[in-house]
Amino acid sequence: MARPHSDVLVIGGGIIGLGVAWRAAQHGLSVTVVDPAPGGGAAQVAAGMLAPVTELQYGEEPLLRLGMASNERYAAFAAELTEVTGLDTGYRETGTLAVALDSDDREELRELHAFQARLGLTSHWLTGRECRRLEPMLAPGVRGGLHVTGDHQVDGRRLARALVEACTRAGVAFERALAAELLLEGDRAAGARTDAGTVCPAGRVVLAAGSRSHLLPGLPPGVLPPVRPVKGQVLRLHVPPAYRPFLARNVRAVVRGQHVYLVPRADGELVIGATTEEQGHDTTVTAGGVYELLRDAHALVPGLTELPLVETGAGLRPGSPDNAPLLGPTALPGLVAATGHYRNGVLLTPVTADLVGTYLATGRVPDLAAPFSPDRFRPKAAV
Ligand code: GLY
């Protein structure tokens, strides 16, 4: 069986693939998304913290620029989605408070603060008392913190739902099956075959299959670097109305070397994340993972042990070799990458959709995407 030919076939209907599909359709291209359950994937687990400033890492300044660009687009992206679908994405301009629980953490946060200042980023140093004034549920031992008013949040599940609806309204077709093989015509990517045997022919193929992207059968060797799965376990608690606002903003800390964050949603959901584990495509929720998250979150906000625990889950972050995304044309003509977003998939959805959508419509790689070319990992030809 064969589907009609599309201008663009997107392999992977997570939020990255859907965002690209939506923008490509808005540019007037015919688009098909192949995925057994569009709107699924890591966004169903992610806490949805939009934190380019608090998650700043040394040596990742190009990624910071991309993250800041996406953060700046978020309010308009979310508003546009709501306007076309009538669905709320849970985007909230809450800000983030990163706190220190001991003097070593405090020194580390002070260094981060200085680094942020050198890069012209806005963050405010607060004493422990000032932190607790903002967030009275914080542990009395909090030693100080950074208030980052520009780091916000979105609800990944609502975002995914809205993107599926926006795609549908924009005329995107869905092939609800797994892409089992990339199809080539000569030296070009020309579509995919699904596990149900359906052939989906297309002018261009966008690979947006998260941590499985480089495993697609038919992908010639060396076209994409390995995208490794990095497991994150996450807990969901519920704050009953009588306890609200339990927390007013995202709260995070490093406890015994592990990052822990709490993301409070308007509907009372409180998401606690996340472990970082490299053990292949395993999404088992473990007693140890749940224990560590609760132990560290409790050190930060002791009162949360009173709240109902409503859900545990685990997702797989797609990590590229340098933890930055793979965006744009690959060495295989007709194959375009939109994957490898690692810890930043939710944050980078608007900018990825815009940049890859523009490339598909114009054939031009926008300047902002240039540092993230998938070709950066290919061995340079000897001169
Ligand atoms: N960006 C949060 C995480 O990857 O856990």
Ligand 1 centre distance from Cα of residue 296 (Å): 16
Secondary structure letter of residue 2 according to DSSP: B
Ligand 1 centre distance from Cα of residue 317 (Å): 8
Spell 336-364 as b/e; 16+ CB within 10 A means b. Answer: bbbbbbbbbbbbbbbbbbbbbbbbbbeee
Beta strands per DSSP E along 71-169: 96-100, 124-127, 144-148, 152-153
Handedness of CA 201, 204, 209, 213 (dihedral sign): positive
Handedness of CA 282, 286, 290, 296 (dihedral sign): negative
Ligand 1 centre distance from Cα of residue 380 (Å): 32
Closest C-alpha to 156, from 8, 264, 277, 42: 42
Domain 6-44+158-226+321-377 has CATH 3.30.2130.30: no
Q: Which residue has the tokens 């000897």?
A: 382
Backbone angles phi, psi at 373, to 5 degrees: -60, 135
d(CA 141, CA 225): 44
**293: amino acid identity, one letter:** L
Atom of ligand 1 nearest to the CA of 276: 5
Ligand 1 centre distance from Cα of residue 251 (Å): 13
Treating both helix axes as pointing N-terminal to C-terminal, what angle do 15-26 and 156-169 enclose, rounded to 10 degrees? Answer: 30
Nearest CA to ligand 1 atom 3: 343
Ligand 1 centre distance from Cα of residue 365 (Å): 27
Atom of ligand 1 nearest to the CA of 55: 1
Secondary structure letter of residue 354 according to DSSP: H
Atom of ligand 1 nearest to the CA of 51: 1
**What is the per-residue pLDDT for 131?**
98
**What is the per-residue pLDDT for 382?**
53
Predicted TM-score (pTM) of the model is: 0.96
Closest C-alpha to 308, from 347, 280, 272: 272
Per-residue pLDDT of the chain (383 residues; tens, 9 = 90+): 899 999 999 999 999 999 999 999 999 999 999 999 999 999 999 999 999 999 888 888 899 999 999 999 999 999 999 999 999 999 999 999 999 999 888 999 999 999 999 999 999 999 999 999 999 999 999 999 999 999 999 999 999 999 999 999 999 999 999 999 999 999 999 999 999 999 999 999 999 999 999 999 999 999 998 899 999 999 999 999 999 999 999 999 988 778 899 999 999 999 999 999 999 999 999 999 999 999 999 999 999 999 999 999 999 999 999 999 999 999 999 999 999 999 999 999 999 999 999 999 999 999 999 999 999 987 776 55
**What is the per-residue pLDDT for 254?**
85
Joined tokens for residue 107: 């020194």
Q: What angle do CA 286, 348, 107 make, to 5 degrees?
A: 70
| Domain boundaries defined on the chain | 6-44+158-226+321-377, 93-151+228-319
CATH no. for 93-151+228-319: 3.30.9.10
Joined tokens for residue 351: 């900018």
Q: Residue length, the chain? A: 383
Tens-place pLDDT, residues 123-181: 999 999 999 999 999 999 999 999 999 999 999 999 999 999 999 999 999 999 999 99
Spell 196-225 as b/e; 16+ CB within 10 A means b. Answer: eeeebbbbbbbbbbbbbbbebeebeeebbb
Atom of ligand 1 nearest to the CA of 273: 5
**What is the per-residue pLDDT for 381?**
61
Ligand 1 centre distance from Cα of residue 142 (Å): 22
The answer to whether the 6-44+158-226+321-377 and 93-151+228-319 domains have the same CATH topology is: no
d(CA 85, CA 304): 35
Ligand 1 site residues (CB inside 6 A) read: 49, 232, 273-274, 317, 343
Closest C-alpha to 33, from 215, 197, 206, 170: 206
Nearest CA to ligand 1 atom 1: 343
Ligand 1 centre distance from Cα of residue 33 (Å): 26
Separation of CA 207 from chain center? 16
Nearest CA to ligand 1 atom 4: 343
